[in-house]
Amino acid sequence: MTTILLLLGLFLLSLRLTGVQSIGVCYGLNGNNLPSKQAVINLYKRNGIQRMRIYGPDPEVLNALKGTNIELLVDVPNESIQDVATNPSAAANWVQNNIKKYSPAVKFRYISVGNEVPVGSAVARYVGPAMEKIQKAIASAGLQNQIKVSTSILTGLVTNSYPPSHGSFSNEAKPFIKPIINFLVQNNAPLLVNVYPYFSYIGSRNTIPLDYALFTSQKTVVQDGKLGYQNLFDAMLDGHYSALEKEGGSKVNIVVSETGWPSAGNPPAASSANAGTYYKNVIRHVMSGKGTPKKPGAGIETYLFAMFDENQKRGEETEKHFGLFSPNQQPKYGISFK
């Protein structure tokens, strides 16, 4: 009886720890008023944020992460992909200089070969080969059991996602994504997906209710056979799971490599009130361990975008206002990560 209770306690503890550790935060550097990199790592630690994504192997960030036990998702930047895929020594050098040099003092979790690479771009055809090269280099370094190699995609690659069970990759995306799915299956690695209900909402305000995008709907909004959806986040995720199934990726898990809501730049949708509601609710949802209607009980590892407002981000004005913290390190919302 004592043994059973002990095992049950350990099981419940593991569930609790898994939930807490399911939240990470993306750390972007596109600002001229951001704190020092050591101060940023200290801010992660003070707030109990146990996972981080960075968009390139910055040596100062990597040195500051040593010994912190913060798990890291690090990108091979888009501009490096072709070289990694075609230069015989580039992948081994990249892994040696940016991963092996810092491991095990830095806890690497994933390498994302590119972020939101457009399927029609010149670099798209090099993503799959670059993933293969990085995987081989990781294996040569003896780190294949610790680090998974993937790529981070836009939700725009999936079409017909209403209802979610109809989700499929577009004809344009299939030549790009099929070899990647095969790679993920072979290496038991997840697909990284940037999931933004905000962008879906502003693109279809006449058909998508705001409460559905913000996790505040009190009723089922989309009925998909026996599955009911009360929030857009789950529907977007399950649309991708359906698309993966149609391309032989039924065993591929999804990691949400970015999700967020801007606090300014496009009123009234982009507001502090909506952003605070979204971040609080997506954290609560992910940490509940409920999963999605299609994948009930499955953890949703999620990285919030982003740690700071970044005043040098290019694109729409909203891109500068996704931060959980202001550059002075003050929290914008009353969010707990612990």
The catalytic site residues sit at: 116, 258
Rounded CA-CA distance 261/251 in Å is 30
| Residues whose CB falls within 8 Å of the CB of residue 61, separated by 6 or more in sequence, listed in order | 27, 37, 40, 41, 54
Helix axes 232-246, 272-288, angle to 10 degrees: 60
Residue pair 56/77 in contact by the 8 Å Cβ criterion:
yes
SS3 298: coil
d(CA 229, CA 285): 13
Left (φ > 0), alpha (ψ -120 to 50) or beta: where does 297 sit? left
DSSP state for residue 315 in the 8-state scheme: S
Residues in contact with 323: Cβ distance below 8 Å, sequence separation at least 6, in sequence order: 263, 306, 307, 308, 309, 310, 332
Q: Tell me how far apart the alpha carbons of residues 22 and 263 are, in angstroms, rounded to a whole number.
A: 24
Task: Using DSSP, state whether 76 is helix, strand or coil.
Answer: strand
End-to-end CA distance of the chain: 32
Asked if 282 contacts 233 with a C-beta cutoff of 8 angstroms, the reply is yes
CA 58/CA 60 separation, integer angstroms = 6
Check: CB of residue 41 under 8 Å from CB of residue 64: yes
Instruction: Identify the DSSP state of 155.
Output: G
Are 152 and 194 contacting, i.e. CB atoms less than 8 angstroms apart? yes
